[in-house]
Amino acid sequence: MFITLLTKTGGWLGPFAYIFGLIMNGIYEFFSIFGIQNIALSIIIFTFITRALMIPLTIKQQKFTKLSSIMNPEIQKVQAKYKGKKDEASMRKQQEETQAIYEKYGANPTAGCLPMLVTLPIMFALYAVINNIPAYVDPVYKLYEYIAVQVMQVPDYAGTLGTLAEGLKNVRMSADMTTVPAVIDVLKHFNANTWAEFATSFPGIQSSIVDGNALTVADTIKNIGNVNGFLGLNISNPPGWRFPAILIPILAGGLQFVQTKQIQVKTDNKDNPMAASMNSMNVVMPIMSALFAVTFPIGIGLYWITGSVFAIIQQYFVNKYMQRVDVNELIQKNLTKQSKKQGKRKAYLESKGLSMADLARTQTKNIESSAKEKAETTDSNEDEKGNVGSVSQKSKSSNGSKSISDIANILNSRNEKGDK
């Protein structure tokens, strides 16, 4: 498959990945000052720093969770009250009573989801950086660049690279292999075995000097191996099922299971389907993570392990902090914030010459007009169905299945029912 690739992640994730790439590059260059050039160490420190930056979101989510433990019984009573009632009036009353509970505690229904929505692009951006280290870490990029420049001097190098890349996961050749980034996009996926095959596939460039320090391609490949090394393992290799690499997936899944158990909300309502679903997910997700980590590069598994270790430590201290948080005080703070927001909203409306009552009437009109449009659409659909039915009956008449008199009798019967 041939597609055009960019070395760095683009799209809406691009800005996030760019910022985290700067952090990763800074960490790597900082340790390089002390002669330590290792991506695994950089990933560990990188994960701790980025997770630490997200602590405020975690605390906010935990506060909402604690508040939910008090609100949920009341919300469940409302749900039980209107269980099975699907009419519009009942659904509106259920929504109003539920909203009243949130207002009673000064909570926002979206407060629990907002931190997760914020962290999702961050997590995807972190993965993009870790999965594409040469694009964001300048010294590592230069190592691959040394080799890419020499490779591009060999005739039919693109075909040879394509042959070497066969069997490697997530490798897609660019439609234009005449650029250094396109070649690096392939080289960055090479593991120890692929580099060994590379030496035999490109024997003429192994002793080529690629910089002013008389560094050869063979030396550069060795340096890439050292940079990607971690406890005797190469983080660019998938662990597979061999020992000791299999410990990476086991730790990734096991620590995630501990993490989910640690943050799991205790509930006495065993019949709650949502709670049962979450319990199932807390078991299934760690198993899936372990299976994915078997086939993904070790660097990704190392990132998951580091993230889980940090989350476990973080959650321990967050739990300690949340134990000291008084629920009544939390509710009072929420109500104060809510009051301030309403005050600002009222001041804004007054500046426009409107009142809260005007806004309520406008919203009511919008609801009524929406309901009216919905009713009109329903009536229109019913008319269309009736017309289709008439056409269908006429069609049957033309086929001889019903006579004109039969159709007239049916129509008269319907009209009489309508008059009644």
162 & 187 share domain: yes
| Separation CA 278–CA 291 (nearest Å) | 20
Q: Is 349 contained in some domain? A: no
169 & 287 share domain: no
Q: Is 140 contained in some domain? A: yes
Mean pLDDT of the chain: 74
Residue 319 pLDDT grade (very low, low, confident, very high; cuts 50, 70, 90): confident
Structural domains of the chain, count: 3
The residue among 306, 264, 294, 268 whose CA lies nearest residue 281 is 264
363 & 389 share domain: yes
What length does the chain have?
420
Q: Which residue has the higher pLDDT, 389 or 131?
A: 131
Provide the pLDDT for residue 397: 40
229 & 82 share domain: no
115 & 145 share domain: no
208 & 246 share domain: no
* Contact (Cβ atoms closer than 8 angstroms) between residue 390 and residue 382: no
- Mean pLDDT confidence for 245-250: 91
| Separation CA 210–CA 110 (nearest Å) | 56
303 Cβ neighbours under 8 A, 6+ residues apart: 43, 47, 126, 127, 130
Helix (H), strand (E) at residue 56: helix 55-81
For residue 18, pLDDT over 70 is answered with: yes
211 & 281 share domain: no
Q: Is 261 contained in some domain? A: yes
H-helix segments, 327-403: 327-351, 356-398
Q: Is 44 contained in some domain? A: no
SS3 content of the chain, % helix, strand, coil (to 5): 75, 0, 25
Least confidently predicted of 58-67, 112-121, 261-270:
261-270
222 & 138 share domain: yes
- Mean pLDDT confidence for 238-255: 89
81 & 105 share domain: yes
* Residue 179 structural domain: 2-37+132-234
32 & 160 share domain: yes
- Helix count (H) and strand count (E) of the chain? 17, 4
Instruction: Quick: pLDDT tens for 80-93.
Output: 888 888 888 888 88
Mapping DSSP to helix (H, G, I), strand (E, B) and coil, where does residue 174 land? strand
177 & 317 share domain: no
Instruction: Quick: pLDDT tens for 258-316.
Output: 888 876 654 444 455 555 666 777 788 888 888 888 888 888 889 889 989 998 988 88
DSSP at 264: P
184 & 56 share domain: no
For residue 219, pLDDT over 80 is answered with: yes
Instruction: Quick: pLDDT tens for 147-200.
Output: 888 888 888 888 888 888 887 776 777 777 888 888 888 888 888 888 888 888
Provide the pLDDT for residue 399: 43
Cα atoms found within 13 Å of the Cα of residue 315, Cβ hemisphere only: 17
* Contact (Cβ atoms closer than 8 angstroms) between residue 145 and residue 109: no
pTM listed for this prediction:
0.66
Provide the pLDDT for residue 46: 87
